[in-house]
Every structure is written in C-alpha cells, then in structure tokens.
Structure 1
Amino acid sequence: MGNADESLRNPPLLGTRLEAYTERVAPGESTIDRVRIAPLDGLRALALLAVFAFHTWEFAGSPEIPVVSEVVSQNIRPDFFVVLTGFLLYLPFARDAARHRAFKTGVYLRRRLRRIVFPYWAALIYAVTLPEVLVAYMRAIGHEASWQPTPGIVDLLTHFTFTHLFFEDYWDGVNGSLWTMSLEMQLYLLFPLLILVAARWGVPALLATMGVSVLFRVAVAILVAENTQFMWSASGVGRLMEFVTGMLTAVVVFTMLDRVRGWVLAALPAGVVGGYLVATLPALQHTVLPLRELGLSLMFSCFIVLVLAVPLLSRAVSLRPLTFVGYRAYSIFLIHQPTAWYFSELLKKVIGVPEGLELLGILWTVGFGVVFLVGWVLFVTVEKPCITWSQRAGAARPQSVFPV
C-alpha cells in the first residue's frame, strides 16, 4: 500500500475520472460528495432500489412472484449500503497510502456530521408529522381517520442522538427503516480507528479487524438472549466485517482492476452467486458463525469489482436515471418508508386497490415517483446545502486536508 502511486495503472474503465475523483477528495471525506463518478452513483441507486423494493413488497402483502419474491424478501440492502459505505470512504486512501498520515479526525468528523445529521433530523420530523397531517386532511374531506400515537420523548431523544439501536424498546420506533442510521453513525465513528490501524499495519490489520467482528458475533450468538441478538449483531462492531470488506474492495480496485480478466473475471460472478447462497440457504443459517454477513460481504464486494471491471455493466449502472437517483439516494432513503406506507394505505383504503400484484405494480411505479418527489424536496432544501456546508469544514486549515 505504501507505493500505491508507483504501481497504479489506470483501469481502462475508470481512467482519469477515478484519478481526479480521489485526488480532489479530502482525507476521510465521503468520496461521493466531491466528484461524481457515474458507476458509483449507479451502485448507490441500486442499493436504494433494493430497500424500496423490499418494503413496498411487504406493504403490498408480500405477493408471490417466482424468483423475484425470493430475492426481494431477503432484505439484503442494509448489507449493500454498509459495504458500499466502506468502499466509498476508503477509496482515496486505497489510491494513495500517504493520505493515512494526513488524516485529521476532527476535520473528518465535522464533514460527516454536517453532511448527514440535519437531513436525518428533518426526516425524523417528517416521519412524526406526516401521519398527523394526513389524519387532519382525511377528516377535513369527510373520511374517518384515527390519530396515530406520537413517539415518546425517550424514543425521540434516542433517535435524534443516533443511539436508538442500543435500546430494545426504541430501535425501530419513529421510522422502522432508520435503525440503520444508528449503525452508520457507529461505523463513521470507528473509521478513524480503522485508518490508524491501516496506516500502521496495512491490509493484514484490516483483515484482523474482520476477525474481531466475527468473534464478536459468535459471542453474541452464544451469550446474548435471542430476543436482543439483533441489536448486538446490527451494531457497528457486529457489522464491521462488511464495512471493512468495502475498504478492502477499494484496495482491490486500485491494485488489481486493470488485471481482472480471464479466470479472475469469470470468478467474480461465481463470487456473487456463491456469496448469496451462503447468506440465504436455510441449511447454513443454523450456526453461531455470521455466515449471512460474510456471504453478503463476498457477494457485494465481487459485485462492485465486477461492475467496475466490465464496461457493459458499468455503462448499465451509469445510465442517467440511475445516477440521478443515486446522487439523491440518502434523502430518498430517509423518507421512503413512511411515504410509501401511507401511499399504499391510500391506495388500499381510499381507492380500493387490493393487496397483491396490482398494488405492488402501482407502488413500484407511481409509488416510487411519489417517494422520489418527496426525497428530492428534502435533498434540495436540506441535504444539498449540508453537502456544501460539509465541504467547508477544515477550509481554514488547508494544511490539514488535501486541496480540493
């Protein structure tokens, strides 16, 4: 890793775009904030579409669709986001190992917090107020509607402080899909430690942190009561194996991508399929080992490399609609569940659409349009200004970050 610049040859697919991308990103900053690279935005969009498909499939009554239902029901999108987050955060360091020494924890944390906190808080307020507004509207037009329970002060406090995943009574309150925000915050806080480990001991140390995460999960499976295992398993340490896999994938992209051909290229689809089978086959799930997370780590790592190595796949995920959604994926994700849920309730209870394929078809088309529109408003009004604000963090001390 120490001589990454000397050994690097530009992968034909990404070429100077990836070089510029990592050159212009401050150490530790989310690479997606500075320079747009279409395949990476496309991957973010795919992760978002996976979570949207899962939740709307549930809202439509979990209709049976050959193959599709089996894949959608696995709900593998949190794992995709975790691997992708590790990949994006570590990409500048994978290109240039010298950036480890320039890393400033304070600047990094200011950038991260400015980038994610206010859109998340706005989404929490939206999730709390949306049902009340809808009830008032339905009553105003003469329909019956019941007021929804308002989250308690502790529920709100734990969510606003990203600590809700630590509490059995609150981890899925306010907005059930936002338990992942507590996980993401934990991973962001662990990242400086991982940078320190990687700077001193390199890739073997990152592999060792994966081993620590696996041992932690084994201990959870053995020692923790079954009803609370999820919270422990979904913690930053419990999912660290997936995050570090993303970091290692970034290393692979900058050291091997130009040599991915022949049998190596053929092995990547096998890794995607094999990882999925390890993660989902029922016969492999009755063990203390976290085979699901290990399998999905392999699957998504191979998938990312495959997309970047095969021009046809890269062009497919670089289509303008995907990249447009991918850039706004955070805002759309934050509001997708309550928006899609109440839209599905409107379709069922007001319009009379029955659960099943018809409802699912509407949710996957018109419903996504509604979700995208609300997410776009959040992006324009809150997230985009926060991106600009985050880029100014550390600007007064240019010596602490790479020029942008």
Structure 2
Amino acid sequence: MSSQPAPTRRIDSIDGLRALAFLSVFAFHTWEFAGRPYVPVISSVVGQNIRPDFFVVLTGFVLYLPFARDGSRLDSFATRSYLTRRLRRIVLPYYAALAFAVALPQGLVILMRLLGRDASWQPWPSAGDLVSHLTFTHLFFVDHWDGINGSLWTMSLEMQLYLLFPLLVLAIHRWGVRALLGAIVVAVLFRVGVAVAVDGPRFPDEFLWGASGLGRLMEFAAGMGAAVLAFRARPDLGRLRTAGLALGALCSYWVATARWPISEVLPLRELGLGALFAAVVILTLRTGLSRVVSVLPLRWVGLRAYSLFLVHQPVAWYLSEAMTKFGGLEQGTGLLAVLWTVGLVVVVAVGLVLWLTVEQPCIRWARAVPQRRPAPLDAVGAESRPRQGEPA
C-alpha cells in the first residue's frame, strides 16, 4: 500500500467554466440584493437563475472524468476511497463557511457599537438549523433548508449526488454508458411523481423535492455523459459537428426557459439545462472556446471557486446593506455596479482567506488517501489501484 498522493491533471478550460459558474451565482444574488434592477439583456439572462444547474453538470463531468479518460478504471472503483476523498475535500471548508455565516453578523454588531452606532444582535441559528446543515440534510426540511446561508442549500444536493455516484459507476460498469439514459428516465419519473403527489405549494415544497439528488440526477448524468462524449470525439469536431452542438445548445436553452404548460409536470427546465451545459462543456473542450475560458484570471477564480461560493452570499448581502444604510446608495443599477466591482473584490478577498487556510490544506489531505491494490468492483467497499489524473 502506498500513501503517496495520486498525481492530478487539471484541465484549464474546466477551471474557466467553474469560474463562469461561480460568477453566474454571484451575479444573480447581487442582482437580487440590488433590488432586481432592469438592465437590458443582462437582467433577462441573470434572472434565469441557472447557476446551480451549471454546477451540477460540472460536478458530474469532473467526477466521471477519470473513467472517461480510462474506462479500465471502472474495474477497480473503490467506493470507500472515493467517499473518503470527497469528504476530506468538501466538509471542513463547508463547516468553516457555516461558522463564518453565523459569526459575521455578530461581529458586525460589535463593530457598529464600537463606532457608536445602534445595532441589534442577530438571532442565532436554531438547533434544527445547525444539526441539519452539519449533516447535509437541510434540503429535506422546509424550516431549515435556508436557515444559515440561503445559497448553501446546494451543499445538501451535492452530497446526495456524491452518494449516488458510486451507484451510477456500478451501473455503467454492468450495462455501459446507456445506464446514464436509465438514470435520466428515473429522474424524470421521480419529478413527475413529485409534481403529482406533493400537495404543498410549488415553492418551497415542490422545489425542495425537485432540488434533491434524484430530482437533479438528469443534469448530473448529463455532465457524466459530456465527459464520455468529450473524450470519444475527435480532437477537432469539425464545422458540421460544432454547428450542430451549438444549435443544440440554443434549442436546449429555449426548451429550458420557454413557458410550457407541460412543464408543470415534466422537468423540461432541468432536461434543457442539462443538455445545454453538457454541450457547452464539449464545445469548450473541443473548439477554440477552450482558449477563451482558459485565460489566467478565469483559471485563478475557477481553482478557488468553491471557497468563493461558500462565502459570497453573506459577504455580498452585508456589503449591500452597508452601501444602502451608510453609503447613501439606493437599490438599483448604481448599487448593482458597486456590488459587481467592489463587492466582487471583497468576496474574492474573503474567499481567498478560506482557500488558503482551509480548502487548500483539505485538497492536499484528500489527495493523500492511500491507494490500495485493485479488487473487483462488485465487492462492497472494494479498493482501487492507483489512479492517474483524478481531478481535485
């Protein structure tokens, strides 16, 4: 048994896409904090709120990437090693972000009082908030899903997808890539069942069921499928295939965002966005778009996107409050401009602290998971042979 960390090969353009996914999250929330001002074209795009869908597709792509590069890895996939790496990679930064979200408002109250201004203590999270968030189960509770940091409901979704991933790998090992189509069918049937069976309001009751791992499984499977297609395609797609993918992406966006009566039952939005972002990933990897999204600033942000995402909402929210209460700015395009410039710099600065102090050490900790001798995939808790090129 070797304790050496497995070498990794990052794909610069995927880091660029991660940066764009984070920036779409940041743009949406700051647009909301600024009062949803109307900005031609920009407001209609930002207001679609497609950011979690993009992240889910990218998650499926990155997790399945080693197997798309080398199909023989399916023979020795180790569930225990995989879960150990995932938990070491994501849990401590998430916990640190929860602590930051709880401490930040209290620290600001202390600061305001030291400056001689009135400030009221903010309520502490309930026991239910803390337990559900710490166990990644908050998405299952109407009263707690957004209790500490409203944007971190996606962490419960991500954990569910991490737990579903070994089942998908096992299914692909037995039935081939067509198992991903089966996963999409299961997700669609689940969403239809939710639409029929849930008696509560569409938001948040039906939304929370639809935002679960099974509810978003079609987007996750689309990301895995994108990894397969990207590495089976020729290095140069050619003009015809490129045009076909681009047209497919546009049609998928139309399907996802148009108002269809049947979308009350069928998850056309998630199916469309899954296809859209899968096409975007393939086009990025196999066309000149790769050079566009691989520029250094985007790669730099993409590498740190997890930390930036974890802290962006409370930082941007309290900054927007400070701008309106003490900076004389009213909600509107002026406030939005400040949040998209100064606010982004502040979020990056705070996120960089989390990256340096918590996330980066956790990445090294995850890479140090011992690699063991290969064993059959069908064995429960099977161990894996050393892996090359596994993404961080």
State the distance in 1 between where 2:290 and 2:73 align. 27
Q: What does residue 245 of structure 1 align with? A: 222
Secondary structure of residue in 1 paired with 2:326: helix
1:317 paired with 2:293, answer yes
Residues 285 and 292 in structure 1, CA contact (< 8 A), matched pair in contact too = no
Of Structure 1 and Structure 2, which has the larger fraction of its residues in helix?
1
TM-score by length of 1: 0.90
State the distance in 2 between where 1:284 and 1:43 align. 32
Q: What does residue 21 of structure 1 align with? A: none
For 1:78, give the aligned amino acid. Answer: P
For 1:248, give the aligned amino acid. Answer: G
Question: How far 1:81 sits from its partner (Å)?
Answer: 0.2
Question: How far 1:173 sits from its partner (Å)?
Answer: 0.8
Q: What does residue 348 of structure 2 align with? A: 372
Q: Residues 106-185 of structure 1 correspond to what in structure 2 (within 5 A)?
A: 106-185=80-159
Residues 394 and 401 in structure 1, CA contact (< 8 A), matched pair in contact too = no
Superposition CA RMSD, Å: 1.5
Secondary structure of residue in 1 paired with 2:49: coil
Question: How far 1:401 sits from its partner (Å)?
Answer: 3.1
Secondary structure of residue in 2 paired with 1:34: coil
Question: How far 1:147 sits from its partner (Å)?
Answer: 1.4
Residues 57 and 221 in structure 2, CA contact (< 8 A), matched pair in contact too = yes
Residues 27 and 46 in structure 2, CA contact (< 8 A), matched pair in contact too = yes
Pair 1:315–1:267, CA change in 2 (3 A): same
Question: How far 1:256 sits from its partner (Å)?
Answer: 1.5
For 1:350, give the aligned amino acid. Answer: F
Secondary structure of residue in 2 paired with 1:94: helix
Question: How far 1:284 sits from its partner (Å)?
Answer: 5.1
Residues 48 and 257 in structure 2, CA contact (< 8 A), matched pair in contact too = yes
State the distance in 2 between where 1:267 and 1:403 align. 34
Residues 129 and 147 in structure 2, CA contact (< 8 A), matched pair in contact too = yes
Q: CA offsets, 1:202-253, max 9 Å, x none?
A: 1111111110000000010011124311111000011000000000000100
Residues 25 and 402 in structure 1, CA contact (< 8 A), matched pair in contact too = no
Question: How far 1:398 sits from its partner (Å)?
Answer: 5.5
1:336 to 312, 332, 344: 312
State the distance in 1 between where 2:296 and 2:75 align. 37
State the distance in 1 between where 2:312 and 2:214 align. 27
Q: What does residue 252 of structure 2 align with? A: 275
For 1:364, give the aligned amino acid. Answer: W
1:35 paired with 2:9, answer yes
State the distance in 1 between where 2:363 and 2:279 align. 30
Secondary structure of residue in 2 paired with 1:147: coil
Q: What does residue 72 of structure 2 align with? A: 98
Q: CA offsets, 1:131-169, max 9 Å, x none?
A: 000011011101222211111111111001100001110
Q: What does residue 85 of structure 1 align with? A: 59
Secondary structure of residue in 2 paired with 1:258: coil
Question: How far 1:287 sits from its partner (Å)?
Answer: 3.0
Question: How far 1:110 sits from its partner (Å)?
Answer: 0.4
2:208 to 220, 224, 231: 231
State the distance in 2 between where 1:272 and 1:170 align. 36
User: Which 5+ residue runs of structure 1 have no aligned equivalent?
Assistant: 1-23, 27-32
Secondary structure of residue in 2 paired with 1:203: coil
2:243 to 266, 269, 274: 266
Residues 41 and 323 in structure 1, CA contact (< 8 A), matched pair in contact too = yes
% same residue:
58
1:210 paired with 2:184, answer yes
Q: CA offsets, 1:68-123, max 9 Å, x none?
A: 10110111010000000000110111122110111100100000000000000000
1:393 paired with 2:377, answer no
Secondary structure of residue in 1 paired with 2:176: helix
Residues 257 and 305 in structure 1, CA contact (< 8 A), matched pair in contact too = no
State the distance in 2 between where 1:154 and 1:127 align. 16
- Relative contact order higher in (CA < 8 Å, ≥ 6 apart): 2
Pair 1:307–1:284, CA change in 2 (3 A): farther
Secondary structure of residue in 2 paired with 1:293: helix
1:356 paired with 2:332, answer yes
Which is further off, 164-173 or 267-276?
A: 267-276
Which is further off, 126-135 or 224-233?
A: 224-233
Secondary structure of residue in 1 paired with 2:54: helix
For 1:266, give the aligned amino acid. Answer: A
Secondary structure of residue in 1 paired with 2:270: helix
State the distance in 1 between where 2:261 and 2:17 align. 28
State the distance in 2 between where 1:163 and 1:137 align. 33
TM-score by length of 2: 0.92
Question: How far 1:270 sits from its partner (Å)?
Answer: 1.4
Q: What does residue 290 of structure 1 align with? A: 267
Question: How far 1:277 sits from its partner (Å)?
Answer: 1.2
